[in-house]
Structures are given as structure tokens and as C-alpha cells.
Amino acid sequence: MRGFVASLSFVLLACGADIAVGADDAANDDVITLGAAVSLTGKYALNGANTKNGYDLAVQQINNKGGVKIGGKSYVFEVRYYDDESTPARGTELVERLIQQDGVKYILGPYSSGLTKAILPIIERYKVPMVEANGAARELFTKGYRYIFAVLSTSDQYLTPAINLAVQNAEKLGKKPSELTVAIATENDPFAQDVRAGVLADLQRFGMNCSIDDQLPPELNDMTVTLAKMKALQPDVLVVSGHEKGALTAVTQIEALRVNVPVVALTHCDSAQLAKKLKKASQHVFCAQQWHRSLGHKGALFGSAADFAKRFEAAYGYEAPYQAAQSAAAVYVFADAFSRAESLDSEAVRDAISATNLKTFYGPIKFDQTGKNIAKPMVLTQIIDGEYVVVAPKKWATAEPVIPRPKY
């Protein structure tokens, strides 16, 4: 089986009709089909594409290495996709279809915490193991679900490195840590509100003051009211979480209104391509990231983080965002679990996933009883001259952070 690459089966829903491209795998019993409802249109289309590209690259790499062996027999992977159109209702409908009509026994997660939350009851009802890479909200892991496993850090941890860094550099801002003031602007969705909760917990831990706490509408495309408050209150730190549009909005309007904030920290910088699209405006912004190509992580599938990044860029023509890296890691978890389970039985595979202890290009992966990855920390980068440079934690830092951010 080595050298054989199974053609992927792409199934998209468009205008109410099914469009299938690829071979019919029903007659091929050497194929393991993973199902995925992913956002290829709608609000999350950009990161839906990143998710799909990560899945596809991992499948290709696994198949190129001969697939996985179960009971002495080699199997290759394929992914059956549907477009969930970035809506929870469509996502639940399609996951039910994958399981009930298509007979898929193993699921790869969608993009976003909201869409992941929507499909979880179906995953649990049918006892189908799901490895997901892009649903980070803590609430996904507090309901006692047994069949969800997430390779990424939860969203309450995203901006903790930024708050820690501000505290460590308080003297540069002319203050004690407890005197620092923080402004929070978050989209009103499960992911961003979990980021907010994590920041508020961090502020309480350090005795810091939250001077602004604005919860903004979905599609975060206007922060002028928040920024007007900031000009009056002059906080030391601004944290923003509103997916790609929120990151682009924050950087654009901070520059346009010439709002001087010593520390600006955002989520979704790399998928919004801030460093490339807004090189000048994003200079010295801090970015929460799950993964970075400069990290020293290594694993058997892709080699190092840098090796994965090179392979991804060669395949897709753009720099690998962490959403793609963690998606590839999710497929890797399935491959490792099948090999250890020595079985195609869903429950045996679920138990093998639960026992995962894996070193990968993305970082270490080990799940607790709720399905969270407890082995991998977040990293913080700073945009410097159009590049994402790791500045925290110190173990992985390649440069000292620039604090405070130079004034306009």
C-alpha cells in the first residue's frame, strides 16, 4: 500500500444540489472515511478554507507514507466534506447526514466554537468520535461529553500571555502591575466571550483594573465608540477578540483615529493576514497564536513546525496559519489512534484517542477526561516589520517584546 494515495471525495452543497468530485469509495474497503462539515461559504469561509487545507495536507502526507496499519492491513484516509455555510443549523443537518446517510463513523470538527457546540449533541447521540481543531470555548468541555477531543488550547487562555507580558513590563509603563488599566473589546459570540472571561480572570489575579469592557455585535466592523472612550480614559492595554474582521477593524481604526495604547493584543492576527495586509498599521501589535513555525515542536508525520510550514506554503501558496496547523494535527491524532487501537470499531478508536500522548510538529497532544489538550500552551507573537515574532513564553521567544508601542 506504500506510495498509494487515495483520491479525496469532495462533497459540497450548492444551490440545494449535491456536487460530488472524486471516486466513489463505497467499493474500496481499504479506505477510512472521515467526515467534516466545514465553512466553505459564509462568515467563516476564510478559516473554513484554512481548516480544510490543513485536513487535506495531513491526509495526503499520511497516505504518502502508506496510510495506517490495522491488524496487518494498510488503510488510507479520505475526507467527505459538506459546506455548513457558517450556520449552526446547516452544520447539525450535515453532520446528521454524514453519520446517518453516509455511514461515516469518525468526524473532524468544523471551524468555530459556535458550530462545534451545535453539532456536539449529534456526535454524542450516535457515539461517533470527533477530533476537532477549531472550537476553543470552555463550554464545549463542561457538559460531560465523551466523544469530543480538541487539539488546541481553550479560548480563555488566548490572551493570558499578553496580560502576563504587560505585568512583567509594568515598570516600562511607569506603573506597578496593580496600577495597570485594561480595555476589553470582544464580539458577542461564544469564542470571544470566553476570551473575555479569561482576561477578566487574569485581571483579578493581578489586581488590575478593567476601565472599558465593551461587548460588540457579531461581524465586529466598528470600534469607534470604544476607541473614543479609550482616548478619554487612556488605558495601558487594549485586548480585542472578534475573529478576522475584528482584528482588521481594530488595527485600521486605531491608526485612523490615532489612538495611542502602550499594549495592543488581538486574536486572529495571522488568519486575518494583518502583517501582510496592514504592515504599517499593525506594527508592534501582539497576537495570540496557538502555533508558530519557529517553535521547536517535532513529530513523525511532518517533522518540525518549520517543515510543516514549508510544505503547506508549497501546496497552497500562502503562509501557514495556526488554524491550518492544528487541523492537520487533528488528522494526525486519528491516524495515531487507529494504529494503536488496531481496530475500526468506533468505541475502540474513541478509547485510543482518549489515551493519546503524542509529540507533533504542532506541539504535544494529551487529553484530559473532558477532551481538552492539556499539554500545549499558547504563544504570543508581536508583528515586527511585517513578521510574526514569538515573544512569549520566554522558552520559545526569538526576540524581546517592544513595550510600549511607539506613539503616532
d(CA 39, CA 19): 16
pLDDT of residue 16: 32
What number of other Cβ atoms are within 10 A of residue 209's Cβ? 13
Question: What is the arithmetic mean of pLDDT over 391-396?
Answer: 93
pLDDT digits (tens, 9 = 90+) for 369-379: 999 999 998 99
201's grid cell: 480572570
d(CA 49, CA 281): 26
Query: What CATH fold (topology level) applies to the domain 10-153+293-366?
Result: Rossmann fold (3.40.50)
356: pLDDT strictly greater than 60: yes
pLDDT of residue 5: 30
pLDDT digits (tens, 9 = 90+) for 82-97: 999 999 999 999 999 9
pLDDT of residue 218: 82
50: pLDDT strictly greater than 80: yes
pLDDT of residue 12: 39
pLDDT of residue 18: 37
Question: What is the arithmetic mean of pLDDT over 120-144?
Answer: 96
20: pLDDT strictly greater than 90: no
> What is the residue extent of each domain of the chain?
10-153+293-366, 156-289+379-392
d(CA 255, CA 145): 44
pLDDT digits (tens, 9 = 90+) for 289-299: 999 999 999 99
The β-bridge partners of 29 are none
Q: Distance between alpha carbon 307 and the CA centroid of its chain, in Å?
A: 19
77: pLDDT strictly greater than 50: yes
248's grid cell: 482588521
pLDDT digits (tens, 9 = 90+) for 235-260: 999 999 999 999 999 999 999 999 99
Q: CA triplet 126, 103, 1: central angle to 5 degrees?
A: 120
% of the chain with per-residue pLDDT over 70:
93
Give the DSSP H/E element, type plus range, for residue 309.
helix 305-316
What number of other Cβ atoms are within 10 A of residue 53's Cβ? 20
pLDDT of residue 28: 58
Specify the DSSP class assigned to residue 327. Answer: H
d(CA 350, CA 371): 11
Question: What is the arithmetic mean of pLDDT over 386-395?
Answer: 95
Mean predicted lDDT score pLDDT of the chain: 92
Phi, psi values for residue 367, rounded to 5°: -100, 140
Question: What is the arithmetic mean of pLDDT over 36-53?
Answer: 97
Per CATH, 10-153+293-366 and 156-289+379-392 having the same topology is answered yes
d(CA 157, CA 263): 18
219: pLDDT strictly greater than 90: no
Could you tell me which of 374, 371, 366 has the C-alpha nearest to residue 124? 371
pTM of the prediction?
0.88
pLDDT of residue 372: 97
pLDDT digits (tens, 9 = 90+) for 328-354: 999 999 999 999 999 999 999 999 999
pLDDT digits (tens, 9 = 90+) for 223-239: 999 999 999 999 999 99
Question: 3-state DSSP call for residue 11?
Answer: strand
Question: 3-state DSSP call for residue 229?
Answer: helix
180: pLDDT strictly greater than 60: yes
**Residue carrying C-alpha cell 517535532:** 298
Query: What CATH fold (topology level) applies to the domain 156-289+379-392?
Result: Rossmann fold (3.40.50)
% of the chain with per-residue pLDDT over 90:
89
